[in-house]
Amino acid sequence: MFVLITSIVMPWLIWITTVSLGIVYNEYTDNNKTKLYLPLTPFDNALRTIGPFLPLAPLAMRALGETFAALEQRKIKGSTRRKTHIVSSVIFFGGVQTVRLGVYLLLVKVVFPKSKGTVYPFSDHIFLGLAVSACAQFEAVRSLASFTEIKRQRRSITTVAIVLWALAACCALALATLCALDAHYTARYFHAPFDSAFAMVAGAALFHVPLLVSLPN
């Protein structure tokens, strides 16, 4: 329950709140797109350029923690090998980004082929943020699950592994939160309300429903 509330429920409450406020207090006009400098502009730029790769940071931390944990367990007689779920993370990340790119190309090439630039009734930036957030939350779930599993089974694991798992979870949740906060400004200043709402529903259905299905038992 702790993992579910921390990694799934809380980030989604933040997402719903920030985007809803952006829609309610919408100030979108065609003239303000290039004139605004907002508090999260540096993160916004990073999300646009390397967004799909950002969840790899907490994944790397967790993988390093799993390595230290495996080395420690080898010293214990009769210990069973733990599942690290590193491969499942890579598969989930790849699947999410493949779907995101597929939807984007579908919009640009098929549904709205004559639109100029990215002018179509859909916020691709919020959609991107939801994809990155889903990957980050997946990592938060796995990192916290590793920690709680060790605690429940009362296994002796090096402190380094525990610290790395904690850092991975914090990093992943911070990333998901930043994506949600950034989406507020996107919904408020850069898209019409329908665009943001449409992206939220699509992102929830395509990225976060699979996230819920993939939760460890």
Q: How far is CA 192 from the centre of its chain?
A: 23
H or E stretch covering 96 = helix 86-105
Each residue's pLDDT expressed in tens, for the chain with a length of 217 residues: 788 888 999 999 999 999 999 999 998 876 655 566 788 989 999 999 999 999 999 999 999 988 888 777 776 655 566 677 889 899 999 999 999 999 988 887 777 766 555 456 789 999 999 999 999 999 999 998 887 776 665 555 677 888 899 999 999 999 999 999 999 999 999 889 999 999 999 999 999 999 998 886 6
- pLDDT at 114 (0 to 100): 60
Inside any domain, residue 12:
no
- pLDDT at 155 (0 to 100): 58
Q: How far is CA 18 from the centre of its chain?
A: 15
Inside any domain, residue 153:
yes
- pLDDT at 3 (0 to 100): 82
Query: Any idea what DSSP says for residue 85?
Result: -
Cβ-based neighbour number of residue 106 at 10 Å: 11
CA–CA gap between residue 87 and residue 37 (Å, rounded): 39
Inside any domain, residue 146:
yes
Inside any domain, residue 8:
no
- pLDDT at 4 (0 to 100): 86
Instruction: Output the pTM of the full model.
Output: 0.90
All residues at 6 or more sequence positions from 80 whose CB lies less than 8 Å from its CB, including other chains: none
Domain of 140, in residue numbers = 55-74+85-217
Distances (CA, A) of 64 to 69, 162, 165: 9, 10, 9
Distances (CA, A) of 171 to 20, 22, 39, 58, 176: 25, 25, 20, 6, 9
Q: What is the dihedral of CA 45, 100, 14, 31, to 10 degrees?
A: 50
Here the tokens at position 91 are 């598969």
Inside any domain, residue 208:
yes
- pLDDT at 138 (0 to 100): 95
Cβ-based neighbour number of residue 167 at 10 Å: 17
- pLDDT at 75 (0 to 100): 65
- pLDDT at 141 (0 to 100): 93
H or E stretch covering 152 = helix 124-153
Inside any domain, residue 143:
yes
Inside any domain, residue 188:
yes
